[in-house]
A and B are shown apart, each in its own frame.
Chain A
Amino acid sequence: MSATQPYIPRSGERGMVSDRYRPSRKSELRIWWREIDRVLLFLILALMAIGTVAVAAGSPASARRLSTSASRLPELYFYWAHLRWQAVGLVVMFGASMLARDSARRLGILLAGGMIAALFLVPLIGSEVNGARRWLDLGIRFQPSEFLKPAFAIVLAWIFSWRLRDQNLPVAWIASGLMVLVAALLMLQPNFGDTLLFGGVWFVLVLLSGVPVKRLGILAGIGSLGIAATYFLYDNARHRIDSFIGGGTAFDQVDLAQRTLLGGGWFGTGMRLGVRKFSLPEAHTDYIFSVIGEEFGLIACAVVVCLYLAIMVRVLVRLADEEDLFTLLAGAGLATQIGGQAFINILVNLQLFPSKGMTLPLVSYGGSSTIAVCLAVGLLLAVTRRNPFLKRETPGLRALLGEKEEHA
């Protein structure tokens, strides 16, 4: 007789659902307000407000750049469009944050399935922009990879949490297989930046799931090998990395971004008074951080960096008190995905990282990707909801730190 029993999914749980107490809409809202991480919500809304102002600053530059003799875009074209997308995004965000944890997980899994299927379609019927085939036009144009980001974190967290049901399941292999599949689909586009981001989320979740440190070292080695391979296999990536290491030439994208970033000194030129931004490609998306630097000063840039760090620290520290492995992993994965993208974008703007086609989440103008980011944030808010009246059973963060001290 084996000591362990095969895992039977959801045995004995069904019966409890039917006679559960169904709250009214109003009390649901009250519960939502009580359970939501309000500090996190405030930080996110602050960043979105900064984004609104920043897109207003960057919009004239991009509108002028994209205007042709035939059609002139109004100066604030992207600003108004951004406001519309942000409004939709906010609805998506609040809607997602209302979800119960299980519904959030189910949504994530379904979305992941759909988006991976869509990724298969991209090489076949996708439309090509700037030398990469990333967009899918099914009535509305969207990048499947953008919507896959939050779903991917949730699916990976879900897969890793199987281990608590049955430790014999090869969860790490399943997760890695999924990762390889997604990476392969992304590199077909090619989309090096997003591959890196997905890899980062996967790596963090592998790390959290308790893989021994030695194996993590091997993973890091494989990762750097992968980046080296990309360098030799993809011209686009090679050019960008070359120009990053070689210092580039005057007036290339990187140089222009830095001129813009430093154009306003510490305190900036003032709203809509920047001039360098007009020579910048993608002022409203990839290089919006530089536009903030010119018009609102380097101090404002530091504030933005601090806001992202605050979000990360807030989420991660609160998750350290979490009891449920799926919640912990999903929260960490979503936060890594948002924070990772933000910091890659910021480091590109600061010339510490080779140029990637990656936006600053919550701040950049993004169209459908704004909604994807809002969905990620909504899911993050949903999984970090916590009943403030429940006490945890296991030792929390404080005990963890105390424990560490004892070891030291």
Chain B
Amino acid sequence: MTAMTVSTAISLGRVQLAHIRFRTLNTARQRLLWVAILFALVAALAIGRIAWLGSSDRTATATSLEEALLPPRGEITDRNGVPLARAFPAYALWFNPRAMGESGSALVKSPQEVAHALKQIFPDIDEKAMAERLASGKPGYLRRRVLPEDANKVMDIGELALEMPRETDRHYPQGRLAAHVLGYVDSDGHGKLGMEQVLDDRLSDPATRGQPVSLSIDLRVQGALEDELRKGMLSTNAEGAAGIVLDADTGEVLALASLPEFDPNRVEPGDLVLTPQEAKNGYFPKAFNRVTNQVYELGSTFKPITIAAAIDAGVVRDFGKRYDASPVQMGRFTIKDSHAMGATLNVPETLIHSSNTVSARIADELGGEKLRGTLIDLGMNQRPYIELTGRGFPIWPGKDWPRLRTMTVGFGHGIAVTPLHLASAYAALVNGGIWRPATLYKLDPDQVPRGRRVFKASTSSRMRQLLRMIALDGTGRSANAPGFRVGGKTGSAEKPGSHGYRHHTLVSTFAAAFPMDRPRYVVVAMLDEPKGTVASSFQRTAAFNAAPVVGRLVPRIGPVLGVRPDATRDIDLSDLRPLVPHGGSGE
């Protein structure tokens, strides 16, 4: 009986336990899913956070090998590897008002004290404005391009809010030198003006930016050119100056300068845009490149081109032939010479004395079609050939020139080109007659373009004699650096104003090449609106301002470029010299 009861009780208990087990297991299983869902939610939260962090701007872009090993922007060097533009690791001064936490003052000391301390380090800052800036509590750059020693001094102030992040900056170690060739880099990191703009893709592409780009510029020549141009500009109170040194055989630009220039390390807004007042007065912004972008009526420097075209066409065969030098009357216009040169002139005398009348008559005899053809061959009907982006379009007379136009173009009026056009044309005049596009890239001998023949080699040979005679006996005497066999032609053209030509504002140019027995370099120097000063003997014509610039420049750059002064060598002038009676008199 008892056993019976016990066994029933056990079995009853077992049934109950089995029931409990079933129920408990069921609950546990259900709640297992709750736990699984909980973990899934946490994981979703984590992944969501990863996605949010990843798409926030706080994530550093992957530091690639390129960024680790290459400069952020490629270097530019001159033809000898001297750096002209390089990446420079500098510091910036950043104001972070939250460096010491959200609440409370951003600075330990008062803004005035901190501004005063900063003023001791950077004397050019405005202390009061800086104090207001610090007090305003707005984050931002206080200054960029901070030198390492100045960064240390800022650290010594002991303000956490003054942070010094490293920034790679574009640095032009040569300062203002070749500013127009190089251009600058804007705040977005893109090149502006000059080769920085032209080479922007190449300088930023990781595949190419490791290799510096060699320009055709020779820094030593560039420095000498800018120095002499500046002296010439300042001594004559000129508005501006422009100059170029071109390799006559390859078209490489060894130096290119436009004054006044700007500092690519610190480009001011005023360098780029003018106030309306300045624009009205006909000024140019400093960033404006006068060599490639501004067109001038270059006047008498065109006369050798006219004569060369005439020799080439067989119009001038006899250099002893005398031309009538009296004023030319064409309708309302009279073409006159600046001073009396005698009743008749032969071709060498025409160039030596720079006669407008004889040049006009020879151009007339040559004919507008042929003169025009020569100028087109010299590329004067289109923008100059160079890599730079700022290239001026010539004032080109178009087709079907009337006689008067032919005559004025014959002595360089009624057509306006850039100084670079003129330099390329002079290279063709003296190098045997081949015109080649100018370039700012350093060329290997096998990269030199074939160019196109504009003049016969014999014509070019004559032109060397004639240009040398101008420097020996004519208006270019002050450019005749001893031993360098300089030859060249002056040009003093009146600038056009609103009412015809303005007689007292001139553009004086001297276009030259040296050494004339084997011309290697073309030099063009131009002064914009020089005044008569003591330095120029109170004269404004090119013979007194632009030619001396070349005369001083050539002895400086000649030895650098491998042209040694040699008094025993010169081009043979024995056949032409007797045609000029006063030749060699040395007034």
Q: Evaluate contact between B28 and A1: CB separation under 8 angstroms.
A: no
- How far does the alpha carbon of A264 sit from the alpha carbon of B34 in the complex, in Å? 36
| Stretch of B54-62, B338-346, B363-371, B542-550 at the chain-chain interface | B54-62
Q: Evaluate contact between B21 and A320: CB separation under 8 angstroms.
A: no
Q: Evaluate contact between B28 and A329: CB separation under 8 angstroms.
A: yes
- How far does the alpha carbon of A323 sit from the alpha carbon of B24 in the complex, in Å? 11
Asked whether A352 is an interface residue with its Cβ less than 8 Å from the other chain, the reply is yes
B31-68 contacts to A, CB under 8 A, are: 31-36, 39-40, 42-43, 45-47, 49-51, 53-54, 56, 58-63
**A350-B53 CB under 8 A given contacts A164-B17, A210-B28, A302-B47:** yes
Asked whether B29 is an interface residue with its Cβ less than 8 Å from the other chain, the reply is yes
Closest to A250 in B: B99
Asked whether A269 is an interface residue with its Cβ less than 8 Å from the other chain, the reply is yes
Q: Evaluate contact between B20 and A167: CB separation under 8 angstroms.
A: yes
- How far does the alpha carbon of A400 sit from the alpha carbon of B31 in the complex, in Å? 11
CB-defined contacts of B35 to chain A, threshold 8 Å:
204, 207-208, 316, 332, 336
Closest to A349 in B: B46
CB-defined contacts of A352 to chain B, threshold 8 Å:
45-46, 49
- How far does the alpha carbon of A263 sit from the alpha carbon of B63 in the complex, in Å? 8
**A165-B17 CB under 8 A given contacts A246-B101, A265-B54, A343-B42:** yes
Report B204 CB to chain A, min CB distance, Å.
Answer: 20
CB-defined contacts of B50 to chain A, threshold 8 Å:
298, 301-302, 305, 350
Report A5 CB to chain B, min CB distance, Å.
Answer: 5
CB-defined contacts of A306 to chain B, threshold 8 Å:
43, 47
CB-defined contacts of A298 to chain B, threshold 8 Å:
50-51, 53-54, 59
Report A224 CB to chain B, min CB distance, Å.
Answer: 16
**A263-B12 CB under 8 A given contacts A298-B53, A312-B39:** no
Asked whether A367 is an interface residue with its Cβ less than 8 Å from the other chain, the reply is no
**A400-B13 CB under 8 A given contacts A267-B62, A302-B47, A343-B43:** no
- How far does the alpha carbon of A325 sit from the alpha carbon of B32 in the complex, in Å? 12
B428-467 contacts to A, CB under 8 A, are: none
Closest to B6 in A: A5
Q: Evaluate contact between B36 and A317: CB separation under 8 angstroms.
A: yes
Q: Evaluate contact between A316 and B31: CB separation under 8 angstroms.
A: no
**Which of B10, B32, B42, B102 contacts A320 (CB under 8 A)?**
B32
**A207-B10 CB under 8 A given contacts A247-B102, A262-B59, A309-B39:** no
Q: Evaluate contact between A269 and B63: CB separation under 8 angstroms.
A: yes
Q: Evaluate contact between A265 and B39: CB separation under 8 angstroms.
A: no
- How far does the alpha carbon of A309 sit from the alpha carbon of B44 in the complex, in Å? 9
- How far does the alpha carbon of A268 sit from the alpha carbon of B16 in the complex, in Å? 60
Q: Evaluate contact between A249 and B39: CB separation under 8 angstroms.
A: no
Closest to B42 in A: A343
Proximity string of chain B (101-123) to chain A, C-beta cutoff 8 Å, 1 when within and 0 when not: 11000000000000000000000
Q: Evaluate contact between B16 and A313: CB separation under 8 angstroms.
A: no
CB-defined contacts of B187 to chain A, threshold 8 Å:
none
- How far does the alpha carbon of A266 sit from the alpha carbon of B53 in the complex, in Å? 10
Report B3 CB to chain A, min CB distance, Å.
Answer: 13
Report A230 CB to chain B, min CB distance, Å.
Answer: 21
CB-defined contacts of B10 to chain A, threshold 8 Å:
5
CB-defined contacts of B58 to chain A, threshold 8 Å:
258, 262
CB-defined contacts of B46 to chain A, threshold 8 Å:
305, 343, 346-347, 350, 352
Proximity string of chain A (346-369) to chain B, C-beta cutoff 8 Å, 1 when within and 0 when not: 110011100000000000000000
Q: Evaluate contact between A316 and B28: CB separation under 8 angstroms.
A: no
Q: Evaluate contact between A339 and B45: CB separation under 8 angstroms.
A: no
Report B552 CB to chain A, min CB distance, Å.
Answer: 55
Asked whether A375 is an interface residue with its Cβ less than 8 Å from the other chain, the reply is no
CB-defined contacts of A309 to chain B, threshold 8 Å:
39-40, 43
Q: Evaluate contact between A323 and B54: CB separation under 8 angstroms.
A: no
Closest to A4 in B: B13
Report B27 CB to chain A, min CB distance, Å.
Answer: 4
Q: Evaluate contact between A328 and B32: CB separation under 8 angstroms.
A: yes
Report B28 CB to chain A, min CB distance, Å.
Answer: 4
- How far does the alpha carbon of A210 sit from the alpha carbon of B58 in the complex, in Å? 46
Report B149 CB to chain A, min CB distance, Å.
Answer: 24
The count of chain A contact residues (Cβ–Cβ below 8 Å) is: 62
Closest to B16 in A: A4
**A208-B28 CB under 8 A given contacts A265-B54, A306-B43, A346-B46:** yes
- How far does the alpha carbon of A298 sit from the alpha carbon of B100 in the complex, in Å? 30
- How far does the alpha carbon of A277 sit from the alpha carbon of B298 in the complex, in Å? 66
Asked whether A394 is an interface residue with its Cβ less than 8 Å from the other chain, the reply is yes
Asked whether A209 is an interface residue with its Cβ less than 8 Å from the other chain, the reply is yes
CB-defined contacts of A238 to chain B, threshold 8 Å:
none
Q: Evaluate contact between B21 and A325: CB separation under 8 angstroms.
A: yes
**A328-B36 CB under 8 A given contacts A269-B63, A273-B63, A308-B43:** no
Q: Evaluate contact between A5 and B39: CB separation under 8 angstroms.
A: no
Q: Evaluate contact between B53 and A262: CB separation under 8 angstroms.
A: yes
A12-27 contacts to B, CB under 8 A, are: none
- How far does the alpha carbon of A387 sit from the alpha carbon of B10 in the complex, in Å? 30
A353-404 contacts to B, CB under 8 A, are: 394, 397, 400, 404
CB-defined contacts of A5 to chain B, threshold 8 Å:
6, 9-10, 13
Asked whether A2 is an interface residue with its Cβ less than 8 Å from the other chain, the reply is yes
Q: Evaluate contact between B9 and A397: CB separation under 8 angstroms.
A: no
- How far does the alpha carbon of A246 sit from the alpha carbon of B32 in the complex, in Å? 36
Closest to A323 in B: B25
CB-defined contacts of A325 to chain B, threshold 8 Å:
21, 24-25, 28
Report B220 CB to chain A, min CB distance, Å.
Answer: 42
Closest to B18 in A: A164
- How far does the alpha carbon of A150 sit from the alpha carbon of B47 in the complex, in Å? 27
Q: Evaluate contact between B36 and A3: CB separation under 8 angstroms.
A: no
Closest to A352 in B: B49
Asked whether B5 is an interface residue with its Cβ less than 8 Å from the other chain, the reply is yes
Q: Evaluate contact between A400 and B29: CB separation under 8 angstroms.
A: yes
Q: Evaluate contact between B101 and A249: CB separation under 8 angstroms.
A: yes
Report A200 CB to chain B, min CB distance, Å.
Answer: 10
Closest to B54 in A: A298
Closest to B68 in A: A273
Asked whether B585 is an interface residue with its Cβ less than 8 Å from the other chain, the reply is no
* Residue with the greatest number of chain A CB neighbours at <10 A, chosen from B16, B40, B63: B63
Question: Which 4 residue pairs are nearest across A and B when measured between Cβ atoms?
Answer: A309-B43, A262-B59, A210-B27, A316-B36
Task: Identify 11 residue pairs between A and B in the complex whose beta-carbon atoms are under 8 Å apart, listed by A's number.
Answer: A164-B17, A208-B35, A250-B99, A262-B54, A313-B36, A316-B36, A316-B39, A317-B36, A323-B25, A325-B24, A352-B45
B residues contacting A by CB (< 8 A) are: 5-6, 9-10, 12-13, 16-17, 20-36, 39-40, 42-43, 45-47, 49-51, 53-54, 56, 58-63, 99-102
